[in-house]
Structure 1
Amino acid sequence: MRAGPPEGALGLLWNRSDPTCTWDRACHRIAHPAVSEADATTDGTAEELPHFELVRREEIHWAERISRERHLRRWATVSSLLVAEESTRARMLGEIGAVLDSSVDTCGREMLDLPQVTDVYVYRRA
């Protein structure tokens, strides 16, 4: 019988916006004005995890098919818009709509293809 901690594996994954999508980045900057262009919020995904060793890391690129209306409603649920005064919230949503109206990838489209990235990490118990 083996002494010590039990063997095991841990899988972590989460979705994030694709940083190559200029129109979504522009929407993000409107909804999160305090976040800089060099946003590294997902860089905290550590390859080093205490008591585990990284076995595999992958980025899966995909696109979510979403209506323009649903996309705008989703932005309305972001904390910076939820806590904003009504006039500020309306302005921010208007600016996000203007981004969608001006991007070649979204202008005049009811359905949008929103690029996403899923980060997948697989660890083994050390």
Structure 2
Amino acid sequence: MKKIVVFCGSSLGFNPIYKEAAVALGNHFVTHKIGLVYGGGKIGMMGAIADTILSKNGEVIGVIPQLLEKEEVIHSGVEEMIVCKTMSERKVIMSQLVDGYITLPGGFGTLDELFEALTLGQLFIEQKHCRTFKY
């Protein structure tokens, strides 16, 4: 099974279209038997995509740094949750687990993750696909 990391926010934002995009992408993952790797939270965009996939018995792996374990409210429904030390370690672990990257709306953390993935590709450190999801 292919695994894709989805970088996205721990907030739903101010427009319902963001949650709709997370749900649509989650349904796409389940339909096409793609495993999700994500930030491990149960709230916001992260929670919306994870809940969608989990509700249909899809595969979800969370990766969350210790400092966000309580703040982002770790998703208790995710069977495989990797707790790491730092944000940097989180990105390395995610990179090792996946075949590609997708970005949904989020904040500065989401942008940081996206730009690191783009940089790894630009430097030919990785040869993985990197896309933003348009709804």
Name the one with the larger strand percent: 1
TM-score, shorter chain, exceeding 0.5: no
The two structures have a TM-score, normalised by structure 2, of 0.21
Structure index of larger Rg: 1
Name the one with the larger helix percent: 2
Structure of higher RCO (CA pairs closer than 8 Å, 6+ residues apart): 1
